[in-house]
Amino acid sequence: MLRAGHNVLRKKIANQTTVTEFLLLGFSEVWELQILHVVVFLVIYLAALMGNLLIITAIALDRHLHTPMYFFLINLSILDIGSISVTIPKSMANSLMNTRSISYAGCVTQVFFFLFFVGADFFLLTVMAYNRYVAICQPLHYEMVMNRGACVQMAAGAWASGVLYAALHTGNTFAVSFCRGNKVDQFFCEIPQLLKLTCSDSYLTETGVILFSLGLALCCFVFIIVSYVQIISTVLRIPSEQGRHKAFSTCLPHLTVLSLLVCTGSFAYLKPLSSTMSRLDLVVAVFYSVLPQVMNPIIYSMRNKEIKASLWKLTG
């Protein structure tokens, strides 16, 4: 019996040390459909890249847009470029090379940077909600509260929070043992899909961290909702219809993008893990990891006259 126990232990150790790479989800085994996947993802990636780069360039070159709101918008565009660049290029490269593999180190890197950019993005959206609250509800104190130093500190706090958030999740996820294979049922290294590969009793720590993070995200979301309730109540008291329209045009896009990110992300991380991959998991992953980065430049440029005017000058 003792010898059998040693054999089982050696087998477990062998299974833990053989995971040197992971196999990501392949969209199809048909070459034509793989090319279609590459084309669709390439169009989405270029749209996000060009849209966010145009916003960054327009704000940087137009001195009239050097205000707190557009300063935060530049940071948001940089984070969007980073987060979409972590997932889509690798998925396209795998389809082009007809492979599904990603190295262990590459998976760790992908998890860290994706969580870093998305986490910092969410904290920055919270800061932007506070900026809108002060601008609309306390306009007389806006320049004093949202001065240059305060804006830099808030943006730096969002970036630093993203680093801590990513480090916490990445460390806990890859500290466990992967003893159920190396097939990740997603087009990028997603934590819920990685947890399906861990031993039954070794993923509880990361599950607790996920619940703690979702609680923190819920607190931020409640803060944002309370801010927008105050904003809407203040906007409804504005006698000018043009003033109400301008206020809503800056708030509603922000709330739309935030709701999309929170709802789809919460569903992906709170949904009970299943042994089989569903199309819904793939759609939800696309919604929270790809679409917000594409929608941000479209919403902020199409519904903002100042951005459109600056872009017109830039391209004209």
Confidence band for 132, pLDDT divided at 50, 70 and 90: confident
Candidate from 112-116, 127-131, 253-257 with smallest mean pLDDT: 253-257
Per-residue buried b or exposed e for 218-229, using 16+ beta carbons within 10 Å of the residue's own CB: eebbeebeebbe
Domain residue limits, the chain: 28-315
111, 169 Cβ separation under 8 angstroms? yes
| Average pLDDT over the chain, rounded to an integer | 82
DSSP, collapsed to helix, strand or coil, labels residue 273 as coil
Cβ neighbours of residue 11 closer than 8 Å, sequence gap 6 or more = none
Listed residue (315, 307, 316, 273) closest to 59, CA to CA: 307
Cβ neighbours of residue 245 closer than 8 Å, sequence gap 6 or more = none
CATH level 3 topology of 28-315: Rhopdopsin 7-helix transmembrane proteins (1.20.1070)
Distances (CA, A) of 14 to 7, 20, 23, 184: 10, 12, 19, 20
The pLDDT value given to residue 14: 42
Rounded Cα gap, residues 188 and 41, in angstroms: 13
**pLDDT above 80 (res 67):** yes
Give the whole-number percent of the chain exceeding pLDDT 90: 26
Per-residue pLDDT tens over the stretch 190-226: 888 888 888 766 566 767 777 788 788 888 888 888 8
Distances (CA, A) of 244 to 120, 216, 233, 236, 259: 30, 32, 11, 7, 22
Per-residue pLDDT tens over the stretch 136-187: 888 888 989 999 999 999 999 999 999 999 998 898 888 888 887 888 888 8
DSSP calls for 97-109: TT--EEEHHHHHH
Candidate from 17-21, 64-68, 172-176 with smallest mean pLDDT: 17-21
- Angle subtended at Cα 109 by Cα 107 and Cα 110, rounded to the nearest 5 degrees: 65
The pLDDT value given to residue 238: 73
Name the helix (H) or strand (E) containing 146. Answer: none
User: What value does the mean pLDDT take over residues 62-85?
Assistant: 91
